[in-house]
């Protein structure tokens, strides 16, 4: 389409201002609506050729059926699970995401979680601030000599493996795609990950295959007690089974940036009472929790927006 001013893009979430500005400067027509309900947006979506989202609501079959002129859905993030991708693609709608934009942030966060857990940084910090000077009980563990298993070796997994190059560790990766291993990680079977890993880091999307993947059976197939890091999606880990493994010592500690109980928008955690097993995570000294911020840096906000801009422009130019 040569006249880009006729390409109307609806933004339903706020993002880095460069996204809006660069689209506008290229000639696209931008409109914002950060407050309307899903139904209200559905009532006008046929007027737009593109929509830019984060995770405010699900783009489902009902929404897509009303979006008669939609050419693309751009999600300013890594995953597309809030979109009925198969149905959208059947309607020839282009799906755009930006896993390249926050993979460095996720890799750094995962490494930070391991180092904090191994060296009891958060626990020791709390004790000193409470007036306790306990050296022996805060003796740390070294990462060198350990085997790190990575499940999911796309943008996120590769970024994390690259961060580990400065350590004397063995890095193994498992992925459903063949031949994705590189100089930073050796691709192996899931069984080999479970046989050798001292640390398991998840970098997988949330799909029917990965839903509740880390359950009691999965955990018990590990040959050694291990540490778990999850900066991917909370619903891939069964919290009750993880807590049981933490209590038994099968899991030595966990760094969780995402939780099973998160809402799809990722903006809130609970509606109603907290599950009892979650209380254990809150009290455990060997559990580190962060509020879905692994990919949420100042730098990644800008990089995510830039990747989305570039991909939208490439659709038309």
- Catalytic positions are 233, 273, 292
227-253: burial string, b at 16+ Cβ within 10 Å, e else: bbbbbbbbbbbbbbbbbbbbeeebbbb
Beta strands in 92-146 (DSSP E): 94-96
CA distance 16 to 230: 26
Quickly tell me which residue has 């609970």 as its tokens: 270
Give the H/E segment covering residue 196. helix 190-196
Handedness of CA 202, 76, 34, 43 (dihedral sign): negative
**Contact criterion met (CB below 8 Å) for 228 and 214:** yes
What are the Cα distances from residue 96, in Å, to 33, 54, 233, 266?
Answer: 20, 11, 19, 19
Tally the residues of the chain.
Answer: 317
């Amino acid at each position: 389409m040569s006249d880009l001013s006729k390409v109307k893009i609806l933004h339903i979430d706020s993002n880095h201002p460069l996204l809006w500005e660069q689209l506008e400067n290229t000639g696209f027509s931008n409109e914002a609506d950060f407050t309307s309900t899903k139904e209200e947006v559905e009532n006008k979506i046929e007027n737009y050729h593109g929509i830019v989202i984060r995770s405010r609501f699900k783009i489902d079959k009902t929404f897509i059926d009303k979006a008669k002129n939609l050419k693309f859905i751009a999600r300013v993030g890594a995953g597309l699970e809030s979109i009925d991708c198969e149905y959208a693609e059947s309607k020839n709608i282009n799906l755009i995401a930006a896993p390249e934009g926050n993979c460095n942030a996720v890799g750094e966060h995962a490494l930070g979680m391991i180092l904090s857990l191994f060296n009891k940084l958060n626990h020791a910090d709390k004790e000193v601030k409470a007036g306790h000077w306990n050296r022996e009980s805060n003796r740390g563990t070294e990462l060198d000599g350990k085997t790190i298993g990575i499940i999911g070796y796309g943008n996120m997994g590769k970024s994390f493996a690259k961060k580990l190059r400065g350590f004397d560790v063995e890095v193994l990766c498992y992925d459903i795609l063949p031949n994705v291993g590189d100089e930073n990680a050796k691709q192996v079977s899931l069984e080999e990950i479970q046989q050798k890993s001292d640390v398991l880091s998840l970098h997988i999307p949330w799909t029917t295959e990965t839903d509740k993947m880390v359950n009691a059976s999965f955990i018990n197939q590990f040959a050694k007690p291990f540490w778990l890091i999850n900066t991917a999606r909370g619903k891939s880990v069964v919290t009750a089974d993880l807590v049981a493994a933490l209590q038994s010592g099968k899991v030595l500690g966990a760094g969780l940036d995402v939780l099973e109980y998160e809402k799809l928008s990722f903006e809130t955690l609970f509606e109603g009472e907290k599950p009892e097993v979650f209380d254990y995570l809150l009290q455990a000294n060997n559990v580190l929790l962060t509020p879905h911020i692994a990919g949420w840096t100042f730098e990644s906000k800008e990089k995510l927006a830039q990747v989305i801009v570039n991909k939208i422009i490439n659709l038309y130019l």
